[in-house]
Amino acid sequence: MPKASDYQPFQAKFKAAKLPALEVVDNHYSDRDYVVRFEIPEFNCVCPKTGLPDFATLTIEYVPAKKLVELKSLKLYITGYRNVGVFHEHVANKVMDDLVAATKPKKMRLTADFNVRGGIHTVVTSNYRWA
């Protein structure tokens, strides 16, 4: 049976994975704080241990600064995970890292609510400057 440490090299590669680019557009209301919320109910990736599919609803909330994420690029970026083997915790944090790098928001929260697998329901929340 593989140990958790056996997956470390794979996960290091995943962190640097090349996914479709996230594009941004100018925020014409950057003088105002407002919350943008996306729900992505069809996110999927695969378990790096079994190769079986994992499904989740991703909820992204952010207060934009000068840039907004362009939605078609977000869709293509998210579908880039379809055949990627990755742990739930790493998905939430990688998506967060990439969105923060692209948009440089005032604050952001990402919740990855995974479907039950093996009798375990996993919800991972990653925060960037969110109290």
Strand-pairing partners, residue 85, are 46
Tokens at 117, concatenated: 């697998």
Sheet of strand 36-46, all strands in order from the earlier edge strand to the far edge: 36-46, 53-63, 107-114, 123-128
Query: Exactly one of 26, 31, 33, 54 is catalytic; which is it?
Result: 54
Closest by Cα among 10, 56, 35 to 105 = 35
Contacts of 83 (CB under 8 A, 6+ apart): 45, 46
54 is catalytic: yes
Closest by Cα among 41, 16, 36, 17 to 25 = 36
Query: Exactly one of 33, 47, 97, 98 is catalytic; which is it?
Result: 47
Strand-pairing partners, residue 40, are 58
Report the catalytic residues.
47, 54
